[in-house]
Amino acid sequence: PKTAEELGIEGRVFVQFVIGRDGKITKIRTRGPDPSLEKEAQRIIAALPQMIPGRQRNRNVSVPYSIPINFKLM
């Protein structure tokens, strides 16, 4: 994000989300060193294309994911 770049803020944002039964990403939660980095991480995850949902016993199921996103100034 532009404000993080201007202030020299870097860091790792942990993102948790759920890929629902329909393949859409829902319940995005973020935790990081700065609100602007958290907002950017949420925007990135929300922009992902529709996914293939998880399957268990021939039924679609929701699958939780947790990934880190590193923001580093170059």
Q: Where are the domains of the chain?
A: 2-71
| Whether pLDDT at 1 is above 80 | no
Q: What is the pLDDT of residue 31?
A: 96
pTM metric for this prediction: 0.84
| Whether pLDDT at 74 is above 80 | no
Burial label, 63 (beta-carbon count in 10 A; 0-12, 13-18, 19+): middle
Render pLDDT for 9-58 as a digit per residue (tens, 0 to 9): 889 999 999 999 999 999 999 999 999 999 999 999 999 999 999 999 99
First to last CA, the chain: 13
Phi, psi of 15 (to 5 degrees): -120, 130
Q: Residue type at 59?
A: R
As a whole number of angstroms, the distance between CA 60 and CA 43 comes to 26
- CATH code of the domain made up of 2-71: 3.30.2420
